[in-house]
Structure 1
Amino acid sequence: MEYVFTLKYQLADEDRDHEQIVERLFEAGCDDATVGMGQPGRIALAFTRDAADAWSAIHSALQDARKAMPSARLVEAGPDFVGLTDVADLAGVTRQNMRKLMLAHASRFPLPVHEGSSSVWHLSDVLIWLSGRGSYPISAGLVDIAKATKQVNLAKEARQIEPRFNRQLVPLLA
């Protein structure tokens, strides 16, 4: 199956030659990615990768990117973090309809990652919730890739937790 996802990296200071990076990415197996370098010191790899499952697609892309850019640091895997407008577009409804749905089911709607004037959710959480409601055109492939990118982002952040805090916090977060 074909999976579409993005990996965003922060480049090391020594990786400033864009042509060289693109060549190394191609040689490492990232020939199925479109490379974007808009922000200084950052690179985005938009993949369309064939694999047996979403995790295999993401995992192999992470390995290939690491071979090409060993000192780059992963910033984010996507699709993952989304606002209501993003979800509405994917579900084929207006933002207003998505907001009404969220408010009407406030106790069961997925919790946001960040709550504020612009709240942010993990895409997979909202897609799974919407899928359980029925008539939304949510592709299983999109749900699978969103689940996989969420796990990558959670693992990336979890590396930063100090063990003593982890032991104290985990029982309190359930």
Structure 2
Amino acid sequence: MNEFEFTLKFALPENEMDQESVAARLYSEGCDDALIGIGKKGRIALDFTRAAPSCVEAVKSAVRDVHRIVPGVRFIEAQPDLVGVSDVAEIADCTRQNVRKIVLSDATFPTPIHGGSPELFHLVEVLDWMTQTQRIKPKSDLDIGQLHAVASTSRAFNIEMQARSIHDEVLLSEVREICEI
């Protein structure tokens, strides 16, 4: 069994706004493999290190545990998924300036999912690019396969949850049609 490191963020239901008691329940009732953050009112983040046969199973069991312990909680985001230039530099153990230069000069570098300031990229696409091009390499102590699995799983969870939040079926149908072109 492997251990997977990931973060899950949730919005608490209105009847569960005492973050400290929610955190204590989460820890005592099955999420003792997570560091629990309670910074923003009405939100909770859990940094898991969870053992499971696969990353999907690890995330799925963590989400189920949180929903079991805090009924009505709403999943917001799984991480790691989106990264900026500084995050890529940290993974690659090189300077932010070096990564920025590559982003600007290498047409094969992944397209940002958000082109503002800062630009954001899907981590899984950056890892694929790093593996394919070898332009920059990950830190030697980094398990790139495991990070790829976690980034891919996080991205899939986030995309699915975002798609579920769109309730206009006509719009979704038209967008799917456009995407097939």
- TM superposition score normalised by structure 1: 0.92
Distance 1:93 1:171, change over 3 A: farther
Partner of 2:148: 143
For residues 62 and 29 of structure 2, the distance between their equivalents in structure 1, rounded to whole angstroms, comes to 10
How far off its partner does 1:27 sit? Answer: 4.5
Partner of 1:4: 5
Partner of 1:50: 51
Give the partner amino acid of 1:42.
R
Percent identical pairs in the alignment equals 39
For residues 131 and 58 of structure 2, the distance between their equivalents in structure 1, rounded to whole angstroms, comes to 23
For residues 106 and 178 of structure 2, the distance between their equivalents in structure 1, rounded to whole angstroms, comes to 25
Range with greater deviation from structure 2 (161-170 or 16-25): 16-25
Partner of 1:130: 130
How far off its partner does 1:89 sit? Answer: 0.6
Partner of 2:169: 163
Give the partner amino acid of 1:151.
A
RMSD of equivalent CA atoms:
1.6
Partner of 2:89: 88
How far off its partner does 1:129 sit? Answer: 1.1
Question: Are 1:28 and 1:67, in contact at CA under 8 Å, matched by a contact in 2?
Answer: no
- TM superposition score normalised by structure 2: 0.88
Unpaired stretches in structure 1, ≥5 consecutive residues: none
Runs of 4 or more above 3 Å deviation: none
Q: Deviations over 1:80-111 (max 9, x none)?
A: 111111111111111111112122222x2212
Question: Are 2:82 and 2:123, in contact at CA under 8 Å, matched by a contact in 1?
Answer: yes
